[in-house]
Amino acid sequence: MFNFITDLARYNDLMLSGLLETLYMVAMSLFFAIVGGIPLGVLTTITRPGHILPNKPFNFILDGIINIGRSIPFIILMVAVIPLTRMIVGTSIGTNAAVVPLSLAAIPFMGRVTDNAILEIDHGVVESAQSMGASPMQIVFKVLLPESLPAIILGLTLTAISLVSYSAMAGAIGGGGLGDIAIRYGYQRFQLPIMVETIVVLVIMVQFIQFFGNQIASFFDHRS
């Protein structure tokens, strides 16, 4: 027991930096998921047949991008995009390098989440906006996004949590973060306390993300 605690104390700095690295990776890729995934999702929905800008070929391509992106296992994606990562970041090792595959996984995920969130909106609401003479642009920004905001925020929460676990995988190829620590110290050096601590920290982190995600979503939700 004594060893356990001194071990933890000894590795305090290590844990802290690991936590910060994980947060950094999640936050960065979440940012790219928002910037890339939400527009991808919106474009996919509105080009569906019967929606405001139906376009079959375009919809087919976007839907395909989302499906392909989501069907590649993350560990494979991570390795497969190494050349791209090198091109963008200059290296394939470290937290910045991990952000590239993480974002590439998060963008289609967020795209599908957004697509589903917008599809949930009653089509009558869209039609009422059309009947008032709203342009497709106005419908997107004044109807689709505000009406699906609570669902999008919940989706973002889901994405963030997936990213936490993906970022642990990124640790395996030198991405840094808590996952990296768990593998190097906990697994390869048999330091069980470190392993346990990283897990505890990850669990708490996920709880926090879910809690705040729910809070923010319900703040914007006026449906009941």
Partner 1 sequence: MIKIENLTKHYHVAQGKVEAINGLNLEVADGEIFGMIGPSGAGKSTLIRMLNLLEKPTAGTININGTDLTELSSQNLRTARQKIGMIFQHFNLLSSRTVVGNVAFPLEIAGVKKKERRKKAKELIELVGLSDRADHYPAQLSGGQKQRVGIARALANNPDLLLSDEATSSLDPESTKAVLELLGKIRDEMNLTIILITHEMGVIKDICDRVAVLESGKIIEEGKIIDIFSRPQQSLTKKFISSVIDFDLPERIIKHVKAERPGELIRVSFVGETTNDPHISDLVKHYSVDANILYGNIDEIQGVPFGTLVLDLEGQLTNIEESISYLRSKDLRVEVLEDV
Report the interface residues with partner 1, using CB under 8 A: 122, 124-125, 127-135, 138, 142-143, 146-147, 149, 220, 222-224
* Nearer residue to partner 1 within complex by CB, 145 or 161: 145
Q: How far is the CB of 144 from partner 1 (least distance, A)?
A: 11
CA–CA gap between residue 98 and residue 121 (Å, rounded): 35
Q: Which two tokens stand for residue 146?
A: 């505000």
Q: Residue holding tokens 């106005």?
A: 138
- CA neighbor of 180 nearest in space, from 190, 193, 170, 188: 170
* Nearer residue to partner 1 within complex by CB, 52 or 168: 52
Q: How far is the CB of 9 from partner 1 (least distance, A)?
A: 49
CA dihedral 141, 143, 147, 152 (to 10 degrees): -30
Residues 6+ apart with CB under 8 A from 43: 58, 62
* Nearer residue to partner 1 within complex by CB, 207 or 218: 218
Q: How far is the CB of 213 from partner 1 (least distance, A)?
A: 18
CA–CA gap between residue 146 and residue 155 (Å, rounded): 14
Q: How far is the CB of 131 from partner 1 (least distance, A)?
A: 4
* Nearer residue to partner 1 within complex by CB, 17 or 138: 138
